[in-house]
Structure 1
Amino acid sequence: MDILSDVLRVVRLSGAIHFCAEFTEPWAILTSPPEMLTVRLVPGAEAVIPFHIATGGRCWLSWGKVEPIGIEAGDVLVFARGAQHVLASGPGVTPVPIKDIYRPVPEQITVLRHGGGGEESHFVCGFLHSDQRFGPLLDAMPALACVRVRDGTIRLETFTDTGRYAEPIVLEQDPQWWTASIDHLVGETAKPGPGNRAVLARLSELLFTEVVRWLLTSVGEGRRGWLAGLADPHVGRALNLLHAEPARAWTVAELARQAGLSRAALAKHFVELVGETPMQYLAGWRMHLARRELRDSTLGLAEIGARVGYESEAAFSRAFRRLVGAPPASWRQANLLSASAHRVDEPAGHSA
């Protein structure tokens, strides 16, 4: 079972480019806080993951308690939880909130020019968004993943809000495909044409998925979180079983038997790595599946409940209300109305 693909399919991950930046020294930009990203970029989305591709010049990145990080052309920055941050040409420049200078035209890539007229820095800025926030993945990722190509190799550098998440990792892959993909994406932003938005969306998704795969294969010993759980032979096996048959009436004992551990050992190890019990994780995943069906299908509540493992409509409704916060019928109606409103009345502008 390819769990990562399963998750990205269910939450409907998609990507977009919203502006190309041309900044001239001196300059400094403050991005919007994470709680404002969905409101300004994709109303109705539950998760927005901003990213920047440096295409020319140099600058400094800072946020929280992290020491300023030097950024050069070719570097790719991915903020899994949308941490507010500052990009600047150098120290001592007062940052300008991006919302004060950025008023894009919906469905178009804006060229954003700002600064004092000195040396130039260029960026392509985009975001990934999803209908549902899959916390186990996003919360397990470092706050910042920075991909650099140096000396003919791909380097992955990761950071928390306070410092390095792990030591830089040199990936044993030919960097040519990565740089070619970045070049393709950047080229598409400069030459819009038929299918442009679809190509940019798919390229953005590809690059994000590859970063997650690199993080998955490089999870260090002692790390915790969903990625560490996938990488663990026993917990990973249990996760595969739950995703392969989410409607099955699983017990921890049966999971443990198939995962090759005792019931107590699996229960303890699963919580240590994933942060919740196997049955809590299963219930949460069932709600992701149910919400997709409620939004995308016309199936009745009883059938949707049966598809995700509940024997009756009443049991499904109780679980949905407990975990999602609203009855499934009300949630479906609210989301249909919200989606219709967004289609009819697109926002006049949004900001990063």
Structure 2
Amino acid sequence: MPTAGIQDQIVDVLSEVLRVVRLSGTIHFRAEFTHPWAILSSPPALLAARLQSSEGSVTPFHVVTEGNCLVTSGALPPIHIESGDVIVFPRGDQHVMTSDPELAPVPIQDIYSKPSAEQITVVNHGGGGPPSRFICGFLHADQRFDPLLKSLPAILCVRSREDALTLETLDSTGRRVQTITHPQEKEWWQASVRYLMSETATPGPGNRAVLARLAESLFLELLRWQLQFATQGHGGGWLAGLYDPQVGPALTRLHAQPERPWTVEVLAREVGVSRAALAKRFVELVGESPIQYLAGWRMHLAQHLLQDSTLGVAEIAGRVGYDSDAAFNRAFRRVVGSPPATWRQAREEQPLAADGLPGQARQ
């Protein structure tokens, strides 16, 4: 188990990532599906296109307010959810939700009309039998941070019962269950989900902003629990890397001082391991070399500064580790697809909705 100081550093890195990628949430619609019913979600590319967002930066979630259903996604085994459960698909994987596994699913875009900016859309569908009701929403990130997304399971499901709160994860390696034992965490989660249900059913003033913040807070708590899971040796990737005795300190240094002219040799020396050992372990967990990771993180920082500050391109270039704005321009264009100044202007011309999402994102 990491010491308190190391734990704080890990949280700092995660907090910095979430700050830079600008996580925001919204409630998409309320659904009442009557038995028999079966719904097919939009695939990631179509979902992103409908929301006018980059593919992979949209994370759908569903809150079961009444009833139950079976959920399947790709080759993963089915998962049963019922009232009080919250299910999340971190990478936006296409999935089927149904009351009858033998029924052919209807694509959600065939029955889901354009949501209203003034109120949450209500979607009704099914054969008229017993109802199951859901709150459906999504989390949106301005930037796709692959290391975090790839380290998360395909499905996260929090099950809330009177006597227990559990986090169930499902991916190609199997199903795992973690019991949330801290009483305050359990109480907070259950109270927050109840408030989300209440505010969605009977919205008050500014409810879209309130619901957005609630969705974000619930997801952040999920990430904290998944981090705790990583300390127990479950899962891999970037989250596990934060706890690794070699990769964790390296990640902390790269995030703390991205402007430094890092080399693997210098980084390994500061971490106290050999260059070969650090390079090998870093690739094993993060999926790329330390220098490749640093280059990507610098681009995330650059986009954040271009959007959220008035700093000039040359000053931003220096802050993210480039000796000249020409080198920065080339790197930014190679990764993002357009020069920094052009990208900034396009973002400035894109209006934001009240919930902080692009105005088109609710269409």
TM-score computed with the length of structure 1 as normaliser: 0.91
Say which SS state the counterpart of residue 115 (structure 2) adopts.
Answer: coil
Say which SS state the counterpart of residue 205 (structure 2) adopts.
Answer: coil
Say which SS state the counterpart of residue 218 (structure 1) adopts.
Answer: helix
Measure, in 2, the Cα distance between the counterparts of 1:8 and 1:222.
22
Q: Which residue of 1 aligns with 2:294?
A: 282
Q: Which residue of 2 aligns with 1:97?
A: 107
For 2:229, give the aligned amino acid.
S
For 1:233, give the aligned amino acid.
P
> How many matched pairs?
346
Say which SS state the counterpart of residue 151 (structure 2) adopts.
Answer: coil
Deviation of 1:348 after TM superposition, in Å, equals 10
Matched, 1:18 2:28: yes
1:192-228 deviation per Cα after TM superposition (whole angstroms, max 9, x unaligned): 2222122111111111111111111112537431111
1:288-313 deviation per Cα after TM superposition (whole angstroms, max 9, x unaligned): 01111222333222111011111111
Given that 1:46 and 1:132 are in contact with CA atoms closer than 8 Å, whether structure 2 keeps it comes out as: no
Matched, 1:228 2:244: no
For 1:200, give the aligned amino acid.
L
Say which SS state the counterpart of residue 17 (structure 1) adopts.
Answer: strand
Matched, 1:37 2:47: yes
Say which SS state the counterpart of residue 188 (structure 2) adopts.
Answer: helix
Deviation of 1:274 after TM superposition, in Å, equals 0.7
Deviation of 1:347 after TM superposition, in Å, equals 4.7
Say which SS state the counterpart of residue 197 (structure 1) adopts.
Answer: helix
Measure, in 2, the Cα distance between the counterparts of 1:268 and 1:348.
40
1:1-53 deviation per Cα after TM superposition (whole angstroms, max 9, x unaligned): 41111111111100000111111111111111111122223546861100001
Say which SS state the counterpart of residue 139 (structure 1) adopts.
Answer: helix
For 2:326, give the aligned amino acid.
A
Counterpart mapping for 1:217-296 below 5 A: 217-219=228-230, 221=233, 223-296=235-308
1:223-279 deviation per Cα after TM superposition (whole angstroms, max 9, x unaligned): 431111112122111111111111122222232233232222111111111111111
Measure, in 1, the Cα distance between the counterparts of 2:353 and 2:234.
44
For 1:67, give the aligned amino acid.
P
Say which SS state the counterpart of residue 59 (structure 2) adopts.
Answer: strand
Q: Which residue of 1 aligns with 2:4?
A: none
Say which SS state the counterpart of residue 246 (structure 2) adopts.
Answer: helix
- Aligned pair in 2 of structure 1 residues 127, 348: CA closer, same or farther (>3 Å)? closer
Measure, in 2, the Cα distance between the counterparts of 1:132 and 1:348.
15
Q: Which residue of 2 aligns with 1:4?
A: 14
Measure, in 2, the Cα distance between the counterparts of 1:349 and 1:313.
36
Q: Which residue of 2 aligns with 1:152?
A: 163
Given that 2:34 and 2:127 are in contact with CA atoms closer than 8 Å, whether structure 1 keeps it comes out as: yes
For 1:167, give the aligned amino acid.
R
For 2:79, give the aligned amino acid.
I
Q: Which residue of 1 aligns with 2:343?
A: 331
Measure, in 2, the Cα distance between the counterparts of 1:223 and 1:259.
23
1:65 to 66, 75, 90: 75
Given that 1:42 and 1:129 are in contact with CA atoms closer than 8 Å, whether structure 2 keeps it comes out as: no
Deviation of 1:151 after TM superposition, in Å, equals 6.0
Given that 1:31 and 1:98 are in contact with CA atoms closer than 8 Å, whether structure 2 keeps it comes out as: yes
1:302 to 302, 311, 314: 314
Measure, in 2, the Cα distance between the counterparts of 1:66 and 1:282.
33
Say which SS state the counterpart of residue 25 (structure 2) adopts.
Answer: strand
Deviation of 1:96 after TM superposition, in Å, equals 1.2
Given that 2:39 and 2:97 are in contact with CA atoms closer than 8 Å, whether structure 1 keeps it comes out as: yes
Measure, in 2, the Cα distance between the counterparts of 1:119 and 1:163.
35
- Aligned pair in 2 of structure 1 residues 265, 154: CA closer, same or farther (>3 Å)? same
Q: Which residue of 2 aligns with 1:122?
A: 133
Counterpart mapping for 1:46-195 below 5 A: 47-107=57-117, 108-150=119-161, 152-160=163-171, 162=172, 164=174, 166-174=175-183, 175-195=186-206
1:104-139 deviation per Cα after TM superposition (whole angstroms, max 9, x unaligned): 334231111111111111111110001111111111
- Aligned pair in 2 of structure 1 residues 73, 224: CA closer, same or farther (>3 Å)? same
Moved over 3 A (4+): 42-46, 220-223, 333-337, 340-343, 345-350
State which drifts further: 172-181 or 127-136. Answer: 172-181
Query: What value does the CA root-mean-square deviation take over the aligned residues?
Result: 2.2
Unaligned segments of structure 2, at least 5 residues:
1-8
State which drifts further: 188-197 or 326-335. Answer: 326-335
